[in-house]
Amino acid sequence: MAKVLIPTPLRQYAGNQKEVDIAGATVGEILTSLTSEFADLRKHLYTDEGKLRSFVNVYLNDEDVRYLDKDKTAAAPGDTLSIVPSIAGGGR
């Protein structure tokens, strides 16, 4: 069970909730169960090929899961999983 924090723009696809408690032993299990509960979230988080979109970051507590064990990263009860938008810019 982890607390999943939904970024403001995606809350409309998650029953207007800021955070959702989702069961699962790994990051992958939690995200799968999150996107089956809220199907509209899926296309915002994953590509058609089922890969996490490049402009979506997933943090377990304060670590990027890409640098942990990705989908297989173990989540302990009480952990916080944050979906974090990539934001950048520049150019004149």
Partner 1 sequence: MIRIEAGAWAVMLEHAYSAYPRECCGILLGAENPGGERVVSAAFPCRNAYEGDQSDRFQIDPRDQVRANLKCRAEDIDIIGFFHSHPDCDAYFSATDLKNSWPWYSNIVLSIRQGAFAGAGSFRANDDQSQSETEELTYPSALPAPAADVAETAPGVESPS
Neighbour count for residue 4 (Cβ, 10 Å)? 25
Q: At its nearest, how many Å lie between partner 1 and the CB of residue 12?
A: 8
Q: From the list 78, 88, 89, 92, which residue makes contact with Zn ion (rule: CB under 5 A)? A: 89
Q: At its nearest, how many Å lie between partner 1 and the CB of residue 23?
A: 21
Q: At its nearest, how many Å lie between Zn ion and the CB of residue 8?
A: 21
Q: Which one, 78 or 89, has the nearer CB to partner 1?
A: 89
CA distance 66 to 37: 24
Residue 88 lies near Zn ion (rule: CB under 5 A): no
Q: Where do contacts with partner 1 occur on this chain (CB under 8 A)?
A: 5, 7-9, 18-19, 55, 57, 59, 62, 64, 82, 84-92
CA distance 6 to 72: 20
